[in-house]
Chain A
Amino acid sequence: MSENINLKEIKRQVYLFYSEDGLADLAIGLMIFGFGIFLLNDLSALVGLLGFLPLLVWYFGKEFLVFPRVGSIQPAQELKKRFRGFFINMILFGLGVFALYFLNRNSGTSFLSQHPLTLFGFVLGLAISSLGMILNTSRFYLYGLLVFGAMAVGEFLSDSITAVDPYLVAVISAGGIILIAGFVILARFLKKYPVVSLDD
């Protein structure tokens, strides 16, 4: 063990606890990828599972893969407040944006009524990026940009390309990229941290 003590590094490591295992990446990737797959196969009724399945992956991943290797922590009040603020702000923002959409959906000419999926991508991308800000994890900003970009580009191309739905291709690709990143990060994490033996 190094004798060097760096309080900033210790704080960074505590925040890293929430994202260094790749489970958040897998959850986000599964949500986006699953959204595209379900829509591709006309399984939109199952979209509700997308809120549930990623949480299951995250929970069981933490219990069986992460905690035996790096233990568990209860976040400090400061981080709990940030999470609470994040969820409340995202819910309010999302409700506000979709209220705006529903008020304008019959106008026919407004940007919101013509590009609802881009709007959805913007809200989702913002949520993912905000999570990155709370957890001090910069790669989540890229995920947010990727998701928004994929949904926006896909929707804009939908008018001109009809052989295959570019929106679904873009969403599935974005989700797939994030899933792959999650698996790579998880593999590196499992290699770096062996299971801690309680017999010593």
Chain B
Amino acid sequence: MVDQKQPDLNIDLEIDRLVHEPVRLKILAYLSEVESADFVFLVSRLGLTMGNLSAHISKLQEAGYIKIDKSFKENRPHTNISLTALGEDAFSKYRAGILKLLQ
């Protein structure tokens, strides 16, 4: 009889709840594909209101996952958002963790 190795179901998976939230996960996913994006880009892609997006952005900024640069472009406020090294690491770890869980 062949001794088949049973899959190890005792996986310690630490979910970063900050990243795990769908809206914030999408924000990090978009930012991982660009060097930076402005507020309007994220609003148009995510279909959120400015207030809703601001709340999520604030949380990510507090955690040090994103960096915000504010400036003015032709008298209009311009907010540029980019992923920090910490944010890239958090996003990569989250992806790896989920993939490991599903294998």
Q: Which residues in A have some Cβ–Cβ distance to B below 8 Å?
A: 1, 3, 5, 7, 10-11, 13-14, 17, 67-77, 80, 193, 196-200
Q: Closest CB of chain B to A64's CB: distance in Å?
A: 10
CA distance A15 to B41 in the complex (A): 13
**B35 interface residue, CB < 8 Å from A?**
yes
Q: A5-B25, A14-B33 are known contacts. Are A69 and B48 too (CB-CB below 8 A)?
A: no
CA distance A199 to B25 in the complex (A): 25
Contacts of B50 in A (CB 8 A): 197-200
- Among A70, A71, A76, point to the contact of B35 (Cβ < 8 A): A76
Q: Which residues in B have some Cβ–Cβ distance to A below 8 Å?
A: 22-23, 25-26, 29-30, 33-51, 76-77, 80, 82
Contacts of B49 in A (CB 8 A): 200
Contacts of B45 in A (CB 8 A): 13, 70
Contacts of A73 in B (CB 8 A): 34-38, 41
CA distance A149 to B82 in the complex (A): 43
Q: Closest CB of chain B to A63's CB: distance in Å?
A: 9
CA distance A67 to B79 in the complex (A): 13
User: Is B29 in contact with A5, judged by CB distance below 8 angstroms?
Assistant: yes
CA distance A72 to B35 in the complex (A): 11
Q: Closest CB of chain A to B49's CB: distance in Å?
A: 5
Q: Closest CB of chain A to B98's CB: distance in Å?
A: 10
Contacts of A10 in B (CB 8 A): 26, 29-30, 33
Q: Closest CB of chain B to A157's CB: distance in Å?
A: 46
User: Is A72 in contact with B22, judged by CB distance below 8 angstroms?
Assistant: no
Contacts of B35 in A (CB 8 A): 73-77, 80
User: Is B33 in contact with A76, judged by CB distance below 8 angstroms?
Assistant: yes
CA distance A3 to B26 in the complex (A): 9
Counting chain B CB atoms within 10 Å of each CB, the highest count among A14, A75, A197 belongs to A14
Q: For residue A12, which residue of chain B has the nearest CB?
A: B33
User: Is B23 in contact with A69, judged by CB distance below 8 angstroms?
Assistant: no
User: Is A198 in contact with B33, judged by CB distance below 8 angstroms?
Assistant: no
Further pairs besides A73-B38, A74-B80, A199-B50: 9, Cβ < 8 Å: A1-B48, A10-B33, A13-B45, A14-B34, A73-B35, A73-B36, A73-B41, A197-B50, A198-B50
User: Is A71 in contact with B33, judged by CB distance below 8 angstroms?
Assistant: no
7 A-B residue pairs with CB within 8 Å: A14-B33, A69-B40, A72-B37, A76-B35, A196-B40, A196-B43, A198-B77
Q: For residue B40, which residue of chain A has the nearest CB?
A: A71
User: Is B34 in contact with A76, judged by CB distance below 8 angstroms?
Assistant: yes
User: Is A14 in contact with B30, judged by CB distance below 8 angstroms?
Assistant: yes
Q: Closest CB of chain B to A93's CB: distance in Å?
A: 28
CA distance A17 to B40 in the complex (A): 13
